[in-house]
Structure 1
Amino acid sequence: MSDEDFKSFVRKELSDIRRDMAQMQQMTADLIRIVGNTNGMLEEVQQDVNVMKQDIGVMKRDIDVMKQDIDVMKQDIDVIKQDQKRMSGTQEEQGRVLEMLSYRSLAHDADIRDLRRVR
């Protein structure tokens, strides 16, 4: 191989190496850009996760309050049931009293009629 051929060969190889290096630099720049975008997206996801964790904490506290409210409501319902039973018993007693009073009233009316006939 002549000196000119060798120089030409070396120039071609250097040109190929430079082209390959330029491609590698471009690929490296692309990868850096992609990693930067990925990091940005990861930060957004992390922020979303943190917001969701806070929301879940608020919901858990709300659920605890609702459970306490339900316990109070259950107690109130028990009181209402007891009052209803008591009132039902009272109504039955009053019904019996009214029945007796109406019977007595009818008996008194009959007695009054009898007395009027006798006069």
Structure 2
Amino acid sequence: MSDEELESFVRKELSDIRRDIAHMQQMTTDLIRIVGNTNGMLEEVQQDVNVMKQDIDVMKQDIEAIKQEQKRMSDTQEQRGRVLEMLSYRSLAHDADIRDLRRVR
């Protein structure tokens, strides 16, 4: 191999190496951009998750308040049922008294 052929070969190899390095640099730049975009999306998802956790906490508090209100309403309904039962008994007793009074006349 002559000096010119060797020089030509070395120049071609050097050119190929430079081309490969430029391609690798471009791929590295693309990967850095992709990772940056992914990190940005991850931060958005994390913020959404945090908001959802706060919403769930509020919903848990609302559910507890609803349960307490339901218990209060159930107790009130039970108490009113007892009052109605007592009033029904009194009404029946008064009707019986009225019938007895009508018979006496």
Task: Give the TM-score category using the shorter length.
Answer: 0.7 to 0.9
Percent identical across equivalent pairs? 51
Determine which of 46, 49, 54 is the counterpart of 1:60: 46
With normalisation by structure 1, the TM-score equals: 0.75
Structure 1, 17-26 or 82-91: larger mean CA deviation: 17-26
Which residue number corresponds to residue 66 of structure 2? 80
* Runs of at least 5 residues in structure 2 that lack an aligned partner in the other structure: none
Q: CA deviation at 1:111?
A: 2.4
With normalisation by structure 2, the TM-score equals: 0.84
For 1:86-115, what per-residue CA distance to the aligned partner results, in whole angstroms no more than 9, with x for missing partners?
Answer: 111111101101111111222222223333
Which residue number corresponds to residue 18 of structure 1? 4
Structure ID, larger Rg: 1
For 1:16-64, what per-residue CA distance to the aligned partner results, in whole angstroms no more than 9, with x for missing partners?
Answer: x322332222122112111111111111110111111112222222222
Distance 2:61 2:40 in 1: 32
Which residue number corresponds to residue 100 of structure 1? 86
* Runs of at least 5 residues in structure 1 that lack an aligned partner in the other structure: 1-12
Aligned residues: 105
Distance 1:117 1:19 in 2: 142
Distance 1:111 1:24 in 2: 127
